[in-house]
């Protein structure tokens, strides 16, 4: 660790990973509710569990991004973070808001209250006071990192990262605008939801991946930057009007079906480019970086993002297909692999890379960390396959044959049991990862004799 303030990242990563554990545990409970629907139904209904599952995911990914920014910006701009105090204040506000959200959801406090009660919009359910807190925290963050970058060296990586983070924060403001017309409500809602995950977050992803490739493979910065600009251009070109693939059936004009189909089909390209980028850099790179686990996560991220976001997204993005598959388990399959591949793996990659520096240890426990990669990834991939089959059967029975929703759900039970099994693997993998980055101080397996001495 070259700069003292990089240490801020440790606190962010710790809170992020704690929430990650909460998120996957709640996911596992939900997987069980799918097969035994009465489980916990009086205590914590499924819709509350789902809010907690999706909201904790989003919050921990964001905390990971913030942590990553605090970690890589000093190295890139070659100076300390502007204010350490502000960074911890920002984390404090976010933790307070998160706790407030959890308590409000669980006990359904202040229902209907303008300021304190939860708002009913999916993913944006947070009470208004929490939303305001998020904005304050975002402003503090943007001020802090922008001051750091402005005074320091400017690189393509910092530029793209800041562009992504600024865009992310500004788009969140649409969370406050909630027109009573349901079609308009949904239209603006996607400005946050879609333009985050298929716009600004992709910029954050590309820049963090570029940073990791730069460090892990030792390829020239110039080469990395050229790829970065191409990827970002492709992401914005396809992603912005790609929002149209959410406007097929919400009451917006029919031309969105073609705009959405065409532009969102092209969203595969930046994900393919990121995968190609990661592998080409590793092939070209001469550096034999000891942190093999970080490299595994980075390559896994690019690959699974291409399949989860790119291929599985394309599966149901054309409006002729989506007419039948909309809101079935196909969506769930895509959602799980896309978020896991693109953003979970990305965060775990930068955490795996940064932790040895933050804790002042050598790259350690590659074996446990890598095992957690394979366990977690196999779990999510298996879950994706199972849900895809479930969605295909569901689409046919429900949308083609016209059977009742609940009657169809009963016939999907075998898939939901397998998904529950996959969930156990994911939870074990996540816990193993957390253990592997925090606890052991020595490598589990000594490097073999066949490896040349350094």
**Where do contacts with another protein occur on this chain (CB under 8 A)?**
223, 226-227, 229-230, 233-234, 237-238, 253-255, 258-259, 261-263, 265-266, 269, 280
CB of 369 to another protein, least distance (A): 31
89 vs 266, beta carbon nearer another protein: 266
Q: How far is the CB of 224 from another protein (least distance, A)?
A: 10
CB of 319 to another protein, least distance (A): 11
Distance CA 437, CA 366 (A): 9
In the complex, least distance from residue 329 CB atom to another protein, rounded to whole angstroms? 28
| Minimum distance of another protein from residue 241's CB (angstroms) | 9
For the CB of residue 414, give the shortest distance to another protein in the complex, in Å: 38
User: Toward another protein, which CB reaches closer, 276 or 428?
Assistant: 276
Q: Which is nearer to another protein, 105 or 271 (CB)?
A: 271
Nearer to another protein, 116 or 259 (CB): 259
- For the bound state, the minimum distance from the C-beta of residue 12 to another protein, rounded and expressed in Å, comes to 33
Q: Which is nearer to another protein, 74 or 285 (CB)?
A: 285
Q: How far is the CB of 265 from another protein (least distance, A)?
A: 7
Residue 234 or 358: which CB sits closer to another protein?
234
Closer of 12 and 227 to another protein (Cβ): 227
Distance (Å, whole) CA 187 – CA 203: 22
Rounded to the nearest whole angstrom, what is the least distance from the CB of residue 103 to another protein in the complex? 47
Q: Evaluate whether 70 touches 82 at the Cβ level (below 8 Å).
A: no
- Looking at the Cβ atoms of 65 and 247, the one nearer to another protein is 247
Distance of CA 103 to the CA centre of its chain: 23
Which class for 403: exposed (0-12), middle (13-18), buried (19 or more C-beta within 10 A)?
Answer: middle
State which residue, 24 or 268, has the beta carbon closest to another protein. 268
């Amino acid at each position: 660790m070259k700069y003292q303030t990089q240490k801020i990242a440790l606190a962010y990563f710790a809170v992020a990973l704690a929430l990650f554990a909460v998120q996957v545990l709640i996911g596992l409970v939900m997987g069980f509710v799918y097969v035994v629907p009465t489980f916990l139904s009086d205590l914590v209904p499924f819709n509350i569990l789902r809010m907690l599952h999706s909201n904790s995911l989003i919050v921990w990914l964001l905390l990971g991004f913030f942590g990553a920014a605090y970690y890589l910006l000093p190295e890139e701009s070659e100076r300390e973070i502007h204010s350490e105090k502000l960074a911890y204040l920002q984390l404090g506000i976010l933790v307070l808001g998160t706790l407030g959200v959890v308590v409000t959801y669980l006990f359904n406090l202040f229902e209907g209250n303008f300021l304190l009660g939860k708002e009913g919009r999916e993913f944006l359910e947070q009470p208004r006071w929490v939303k305001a807190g998020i904005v304050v925290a975002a402003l503090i963050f943007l001020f802090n990192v922008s001051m750091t970058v402005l005074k320091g060296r400017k690189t393509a990586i910092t530029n793209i990262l800041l562009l992504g983070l600024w865009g992310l924060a500004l788009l969140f403001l649409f969370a406050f605008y909630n027109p009573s017309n349901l079609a308009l409500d949904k239209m603006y809602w996607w400005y946050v939801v879609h333009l985050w995950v298929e716009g600004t977050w992709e910029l954050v992803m590309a820049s963090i991946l570029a940073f990791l490739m730069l460090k892990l493979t030792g390829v020239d910065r110039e080469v990395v930057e050229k790829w970065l600009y191409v990827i970002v251009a492709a992401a914005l070109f396809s992603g912005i009007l790609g929002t149209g693939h959410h406007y097929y059936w919400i009451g917006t004009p029919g031309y969105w079906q073609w705009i959405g189909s065409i532009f969102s089909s092209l969203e595969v390209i930046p994900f393919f480019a990121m995968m190609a980028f990661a592998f080409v850099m590793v092939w070209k790179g001469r550096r034999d970086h000891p942190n093999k686990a970080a490299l595994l996560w980075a390559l896994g991220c690019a690959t699974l993002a291409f399949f989860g976001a790119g291929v599985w997204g394309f599966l149901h993005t054309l409006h002729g297909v989506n007419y039948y598959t909309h809101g079935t388990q196909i969506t769930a399959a895509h959602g799980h692999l896309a978020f896991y591949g693109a953003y979970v793996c990305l965060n775990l990659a930068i955490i795996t890379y940064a932790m040895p520096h933050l804790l002042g240890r050598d790259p350690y426990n590659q074996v446990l960390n890598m095992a957690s990669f394979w366990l977690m990834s196999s779990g999510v991939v298996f879950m994706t396959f199972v849900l895809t089959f479930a969605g295909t059967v569901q689409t046919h029975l429900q949308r083609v044959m016209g059977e009742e929703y609940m009657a169809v759900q009963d016939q999907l039970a075998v898939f939901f049991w397998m998904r529950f099994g996959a969930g156990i693997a994911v939870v074990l993998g996540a816990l193993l990862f957390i253990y592997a980055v925090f606890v052991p101080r020595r490598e589990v397996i000594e490097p073999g004799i066949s490896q040349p001495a350094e």
